[in-house]
Amino acid sequence: MYRFRALAVGLAVLLAGCGMSSTLIKSDALSFGGVIEDTTNKLLVMNVLRARDKAPLHFADIPVVRESVQQTISLSLLQFLGSLRPTTTTDTLTAGTSLQFTPSFEISHLHSKDFITGISSPIDPKVVKYWLDRGLDRRLVMLLFFSAVEIIETQSEMGPVNTIRISNSPRDAADIIRNRKLPFAGAEPLLCDRQSDFERYLKLINNVRTFFANNYRERRLLARDLKPGDAHDSKNLQAFAALDQSKVQLVFDREAGTYSVYSLSNEQKIAFCFYGEAESAAVSTSGDVGVMEMGRDPAADRRSCHQSVIDAGAEESPRRGINPSPEFFRGTADVTEPSRYCGIYNRFARIVPRPQASAGYPRMELKLYIRSVGEIFQFLGDLLHYQEEVKRHTEAHPAVKLNSPVTFGYCGDTPEPGCDDVFLRLNGPECNSRFTVPYRGETYHVSNFDPSSCSPEPAARKDHTLEVLSVLHQLVGLNKSATDIRSTPAVQVLP
């Protein structure tokens, strides 16, 4: 009887031990996931702080988190049989368990040549399109991914063509703002000559109401007016039908009853398009609709904004051979008339009326300069420096009105829902912090996206710091490879 009872007890203990192991593994796996999330976020923030201080950046990854779970279960039975049983000793059954955890982790420093080359190269426009398609705020995209814009103004088909460049550089703006003691009092067209490039860039974002990206491929004409009834054309059509349909396109003209053959580009291109305050998607051929492409001149064919295939060189004109004349900003000054640089800026931003267009001219277009991942870190560090300088300056000169932390626009100019949302800050309220980062004797707090009741800020104001970090996390991950994340080999020592 004792044997069956002991067996039942032992089986119950074993089953309980197996169930306990499963529960512990699930719990610890979730805990480790939280540790990796918290550590990765802190590593990103520390690099942003290093960029603020212009210190070297150090990238690291946690490729492996291990834990050894050791369970020991013991069961012993002491039973006396027959005449050997002592009169004062009874049979005994003892059981014991022990549980031992041995966690370990590894950190790999990402300093290979491939990783550094990757974060130093311009981001693929497809990545920017991915975030736009996901619904990332257009203002956040324009602040984060692009280092500058170039406005190109063409007066006529034969020119002249003038360009101005507006940098998205917060650190340079801090130097200009330090010299500003009083708010500007004067006509708005004269304000451009008193502002920094970064302020002009922020105001430019306000004028871009719709910003999206479209994939398209270019095609070039190989042959036209092919008739299937002709003997030699029939042979050609048979040859074309055998070609790769992803590289060749056959188009039928119903009116003429003929075919045209086009070659398609191998890679898809991406056009970044926008409509300003007075435009809509219905006026896709208007000269006021901007088309922005990477690594080349702005696209003249605005069909790249809404078509999947366009004809290459369909709108080639003599102006493509005209070398543009750049206009440079001469520095901040009190002026009675806008400079030539600010004249172009004011016309594009519609601060002053544009001349009446004739045959599509004058025409204004934009060219974007995309950042690398390393430049994004430097931009965010410069932004922290700018915000700290602006805060100190406005406390010393209360008459100067500037946003710190930086918001999504000049709310006083164009008040709209969300324009006062916070782009990035690391000094959020401690009561609403998602995580904290100690760095060089100070503690920084990253807030949640939605403010809590403990914060004195307006309930409708959003803090997009976590959203920026999520984008940054994926951008860094795109440049990692299996060879960068090395795992420490196991070593066994035998006596």
Name the band, by pLDDT with cuts 50, 70 and 90, for residue 46.
very high
E-assigned strand segments in 238-317: 248-253, 258-264, 269-275, 290-293, 309-311
Q: Poorest-confidence range of 116-120, 276-280, 468-472?
A: 276-280
pLDDT of residue 443: 93
Q: Poorest-confidence range of 175-179, 234-238, 369-373?
A: 234-238
Mean pLDDT of 367-385: 93
pLDDT of residue 65: 62
Q: Give the range with max mean pLDDT: 30-44, 92-106, 152-166, 310-324.
A: 152-166
pLDDT of residue 51: 95
- Residue 334, classed as helix, strand or coil, is coil
For the chain, the C-alpha Rg in angstroms (whole number) is 33
**Could you please report the per-residue DSSP string of 24-44?**
HHHHHHHHHHHHHHHHHHHHH
Residue 49, pLDDT above cutoff 90: yes
pLDDT of residue 381: 95
Q: Hey, where are the domains in the chain?
A: 2-80+92-105, 121-215+268-372, 219-264, 375-478
Distances, alpha carbon 181 to alpha carbons 172, 202, 397, 398, in Å: 17, 21, 6, 9
255 vs 96, residue with greater confidence: 255
- Give Cα 49 distance to the centre of its chain: 18
Mean pLDDT of 19-24: 57
Residue 131, pLDDT above cutoff 90: yes
pLDDT of residue 421: 82
* Phi, psi for residue 478 in degrees, rounded to 5: -65, -20
Mean pLDDT of 385-395: 89
Residue 66, pLDDT above cutoff 80: no
CA distance 43 to 236: 61
Tokens 């480790």 sit at which residue? Answer: 32
Residue 157, pLDDT above cutoff 70: yes
% of residues, the chain, pLDDT over 70: 66
pLDDT of residue 99: 63
Tokens 């709108």 sit at which residue? Answer: 315
Name the band, by pLDDT with cuts 50, 70 and 90, for residue 352.
confident
Mean pLDDT of 96-115: 70
- Give Cα 29 distance to the centre of its chain: 29
Which residues have CB under 8 Å from 75's CB, separation 6+? 6, 9, 10, 13, 93, 94, 95, 96
Mean pLDDT of 2-7: 51
Name the band, by pLDDT with cuts 50, 70 and 90, for residue 475.
very high
pTM: 0.78
pLDDT digits (tens, 9 = 90+) for 23-33: 655 666 666 66
pLDDT of residue 37: 80
* Phi, psi for residue 109 in degrees, rounded to 5: -85, 130
385 vs 350, residue with greater confidence: 385
pLDDT of residue 404: 72
CA distance 272 to 277: 17
pLDDT of residue 328: 92
pLDDT of residue 286: 33
Q: Give the range with max mean pLDDT: 195-209, 284-298, 303-317.
A: 195-209
3-state helix, strand, coil in the chain (%, to 5): 35, 25, 40
> Residue 20's CB: how many other CB atoms inside 10 A?
14
- Residue 121: closest CA among 379, 472, 375: 375
Mean pLDDT of 187-195: 90
* Phi, psi for residue 89 in degrees, rounded to 5: -115, 135
pLDDT of residue 181: 82
303 vs 44, residue with greater confidence: 44
Residue 322, pLDDT above cutoff 80: no
pLDDT of residue 229: 58
209 vs 196, residue with greater confidence: 196
Omega prior to 160 cis, within 30 of 0: yes
Residue 460, pLDDT above cutoff 70: no
Q: Poorest-confidence range of 87-96, 356-365, 384-393?
A: 87-96
* Mean pLDDT rounded to a whole number for the chain: 76
% of residues, the chain, pLDDT over 90: 21
pLDDT of residue 234: 60
